[in-house]
Amino acid sequence: MKQAIVVGTGAGGVTVARELVGRFDVTILEAGGEFQPFAGRLGTYERLRSTRLLMDPRMISLLFPSMRVTMTADEMALVRAICTGGTTTLATGNAVRCDQHLRQIGIDLDTEFRVLAQDLPISVAHRERWRPITQELFSACERLGLEPAVTPKLVDYSRCCRCGRCVLGCPVGAKWDARQFLTAATEQGARLLTGAVVERVIMEGPSPRQVRATGVVVRSRGRRRILKADLVVLAAGGLGTAALLSRSAISTEERLFVDPVLCVAARLDGCLADCEVPMPFYLEGDGYIVSPYFDHLSFFFNHAWRRSRHDIVSLMIKLADSENGRVDSRHVHKSLSERDRQRLRTGVDSCLEILGACGIDRRTAFLGTLNAGHPGGTLPLTGRERRPLQPDCLPDNVYVADASLLPRALGKPPILTIMALARRVAAVCGERFA
């Protein structure tokens, strides 16, 4: 049986591994360790904030080792998880289909979405559990003609404890994350190596046009070793895959989107929005969405949020940003365009209007920390590549199965779309190499 290596255990990597196992001898490589939900008491950290010990978002890994933050020159916090399950462990569990840019270049993923709908616990049952503040926000959006839509979730609500801590790792296992597909793959015979940092892809060939990957160089527990492979699938995320390719002397495009998030919050005593389902509904604006969301990163590190978490109501703006940016082997470069900033300002005005329609004093409003967690677009697919699903710069037996392939920023939760695309990539790999 041929050897396949899958790099990364997020939404794309586990989907590919689950599909390839049985047809290949699959080894899954994860740079981080086993994910553990954040176990701290938020009340304790609420008091700790006054000591000024929590000043920089990059300190989050001291509190929550699986979460990592990189700051851009524009002071935007780029958030990701380095652990089994990838950033799905920190996601709010949204199951939103957003493949319009792929359809525009001729990639039809209808079959993949139908299969995923059967494989995943997609539900809108949370609407029956909304707290009064969420119901009022939804009604206000309807009164304003903003057409809010209930967000489908990857959650088993018979197990949900309504703690509001989805982005800190579900403490009761009600929220689906990629570890469930990872377990399925390993139970079928795939090997998982954690703490395995892939330094580069090894390539050999008689000429540039005949280069093939023969394996990867892995650093694990202080030692380097070579793992041989007939097929390599990179799914290390929108930042990790581009950096790995750069270390392998394969250039990605000088572009990067990240779906920036900015929260507009206000004081509302005893609203308990921090204990609500995050992103229970969303509405679409011009290049952005708005959704209720308690921002824990701002809660930990933003001075304006130093009040009781139970007394904060917050709306998220998630922006489909421009591709101004790049990733190299060591650094991430990202900036917002003037159009991006104008759309954020428009989004802030929309949030203030919604809060005002709920009777909340807009003068109490304050902003959160600008952050982002959906990087991608460094290896965008084009219409020419819609059948092989493989950017021209890659060797014949190297594929990518994460948000790096997306042509444009989504400005919406990407998990379901990444999984559908990864499932198609796995099918192509199986047809070509199994």
Please provide the DSSP assignment of 61-118 as one string: HHH-TTEEEEE-TT-PEEEEE-BTTGGGGGS--B-----HHHHHTT---HHHHHHHHH
Is the model's pLDDT at 58 over the cut of 70? yes
- CA dist 102 and 351 (Å) reads 30
Strand partners, 366: 265
Is the model's pLDDT at 209 over the cut of 70? no
- 3-33+177-253+377-433 has which CATH code? 3.50.50.60
pLDDT of residue 207: 65
Those residues whose C-beta lies under 8 Å from the C-beta of residue 287, and which sit 6 or more positions away, are 319, 320, 343, 411
SS3 call for 137? helix
Tell me the CA distances in angstroms from 109 to 98, 133, 417, one per residue in order.
11, 37, 9
Average confidence score pLDDT of the chain: 96
> Nearest CA to 121 among 155, 98, 85, 167?
155
Instruction: Provide the CATH topology of domain 46-79+122-167+260-372.
Output: Cholesterol Oxidase; domain 2 (3.30.410)
Q: Is beta strand 231-234 parallel, antiparallel or unpaired with respect to 260-267?
A: unpaired
Is the model's pLDDT at 55 over the cut of 80? no
With cut-offs at 50, 70 and 90, classify the pLDDT of residue 208. Answer: low
CATH 3.50.50.60 in the chain is located at 3-33+177-253+377-433
pLDDT per residue as tens digits for the range 330-378: 899 999 999 999 999 999 999 999 999 999 998 899 999 999 999 999 9
pLDDT of residue 46: 82
pLDDT per residue as tens digits for the range 371-411: 999 999 999 999 999 899 999 999 999 999 999 999 999 99
The stretch 13-40 carries a mean pLDDT of 97
The stretch 232-237 carries a mean pLDDT of 98
pLDDT of residue 241: 98
CATH 3.30.410 in the chain is located at 46-79+122-167+260-372
